[in-house]
A and B are shown apart, each in its own frame.
Chain A
């Protein structure tokens, strides 16, 4: 009755939490990347105040701690008449937060493509859009990929903060298991291992892309 060792069910419970973490990360990275590419393109190509205004707005999301953003968004969503699940709010906040970082990665990567290379493309009669899609994006992708991988991996770990919204992801599920089993070190080691097992393939995939493309540069 007082046997509090970790059962297979606890592990299963934590793996289910890991699934939530993965799902959160997936939506955050997807939303953040789509928004980030659009915003980054605007920041890199649009002149003057629209770019500046967007930059300032995104600076807010980069400066305010993610936990504060999560709690404020959860508090204000019902006031704004939005009947959203905590999971939806969490995904949206994480996506906007990610987009703020992704915007700067995209902007920097686009600006890293030498102007002379783009001029050569335009001098051949390529349109602005062709230049962007055939010349700038492929080169910028190679420049920005490592930073983007860091962002994705960081986001996966930052997503643990949504436990404050009552979402049972990997870290929260581990806490619950700790409360029951009173085996914090072991449980956290297992949780850490799961985080690692999720991160490692993503990191390796990034390295694989980098080396694959290195040959061509």
Chain B
């Protein structure tokens, strides 16, 4: 369970998250929608401790993320994150990209790590690209590699930061299916996305971010289907 309690976060004088409280239960998929600069992506970075917070608390399975005694490297093995820019490691092949963390962090043997990596890469449809360097892949393929790289750690949670923004249209469905499968396997996910249909399809709940706060949260039928707040309506109108 991810518990976000009254989190505030500033970059210098600019406060980007102004008191966000949100719980994500095990097996739940929560989509976060909202305009650019509303603090959605920053919140994901805070959840796995890549960004410090100014006040409030974030707990993952009861562990306080920003506590001094928390072993972030250990915590991060439970939380997979996939970024807007896929951030491939350019000097490693696709297979090596995916094998790296299981080897270095989980201490798996080469064979075990390779087996997991091949399995995950096959899962995202990159079985024929194992020995290729990321620069030879399309953006969509690099993003699928990044998803496989996160999945190779067998995380309990996946944080997805606009992962479909760069995908070819015909690949979005494939990724959606992968995410549905993960969800059915009990994967807890926070999905930051601009794709409203995607949010409506896969999420248990949708949170609308506006100016650093959760403006509206609830089941997709409510937040997307019949929003109560005028800002939500205006946003949905602008993107749909």
- Chain A residues in contact with chain B, CB under 8 A? 114, 116-117, 119-127, 130, 134-135, 138-139, 142, 213, 215-217
Task: Give min CB distance, B197 to chain A, whole Å.
Answer: 27
Docked-complex contact A122 and B50, CB < 8 angstroms: yes
Nearest 9 interchain pairs by C-beta = A120-B87, A124-B101, A125-B105, A125-B76, A125-B77, A123-B81, A138-B91, A216-B133, A125-B73
**Residue of B73, B80, B91, B150 touching A126 (CB-CB under 8 A):** B73
**Residue of A114, A130, A213 touching B104 (CB-CB under 8 A):** A130
Contacts of A213 in B (CB 8 A): 91
Given A134-B100, A135-B89, A139-B90, also A126-B50 (CB < 8 A) = no
**Residue of A116, A125, A142 touching B87 (CB-CB under 8 A):** A116
Contacts of A116 in B (CB 8 A): 83, 85, 87
B contacts with A, residue count (CB < 8 A): 26
User: For the complex, is B68 an interface residue (Cβ under 8 Å from A)?
Assistant: no
Contacts of B48 in A (CB 8 A): 123
Can you pick out 21 interface pairs between chain A and chain B where the beta carbons lie within 8 Å of each other? A116-B87, A119-B83, A120-B89, A120-B146, A121-B89, A122-B50, A123-B76, A123-B81, A124-B76, A124-B77, A125-B74, A125-B76, A125-B77, A126-B73, A126-B101, A139-B89, A139-B90, A142-B91, A213-B91, A217-B133, A217-B135
Q: Bound complex: CA of A156 vs CA of B194, how far in Å? A: 57
Q: Bound complex: CA of A119 vs CA of B84, how far in Å? A: 12
Q: Bound complex: CA of A25 vs CA of B229, how far in Å? A: 72
Contacts of B153 in A (CB 8 A): 124-125
Task: Give min CB distance, A127 to chain B, whole Å.
Answer: 6
Task: Give min CB distance, B126 to chain A, whole Å.
Answer: 17
Given A119-B50, A120-B83, A124-B150, also A217-B104 (CB < 8 A) = no
Beta-carbon nearest neighbor of A119 in chain B: B50
Contacts of B105 in A (CB 8 A): 124-126, 130
